[in-house]
């Protein structure tokens, strides 16, 4: 428990020096959305930020397919961040 607290403290103090936790083995997104975002290898991290929203950090935003950019539940943001609405 102390180790998690220690990592969280250093992440808060130095966000650019402590790497984000990598994505879990099981994805929060289905396979069609993963493919539209450039594949599982293009995703750096996934974080559930609300009941119906997942924040995804992608390595290369140019790998987002045209299909993903036209979906109403996929919102590309700055710096490779994508919000995906799920569970609607």
Overall number of domains in the chain: 1
pTM > 0.75: yes or no: no
Task: For 58-85, write each residue's pLDDT tens digit.
Answer: 988 888 877 777 778 888 888 889 898 8
**Residue at 46 is within a domain:** yes
Task: Please list, residue by residue across 44-60, b when 16 or more beta carbons sit within 10 angstroms of its beta carbon and e when fewer do.
Answer: bebeeeeeeebbbbbee
pLDDT tens digits for range 16-62: 665 555 545 567 888 888 888 888 888 888 988 888 899 999 988 88
**Residue numbers of the domain that contains 53:** 22-85
Assign 10 to helix, strand or coil. Answer: helix
- Residue 43 domain-assigned (yes or no): yes
């Amino acid at each position: 428990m102390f180790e998690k607290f220690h990592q969280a403290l250093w992440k808060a103090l130095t966000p650019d020096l402590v790497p984000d936790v990598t994505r879990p083995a099981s994805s929060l997104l289905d396979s069609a959305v993963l493919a539209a975002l450039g594949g599982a290898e293009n995703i750096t991290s996934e974080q559930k930020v609300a009941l119906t929203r997942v924040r995804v950090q992608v390595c290369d935003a140019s790998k987002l397919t045209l299909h993903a950019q036209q979906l109403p539940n996929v919102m590309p943001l700055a710096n490779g961040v994508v919000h995906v609405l799920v569970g609607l």
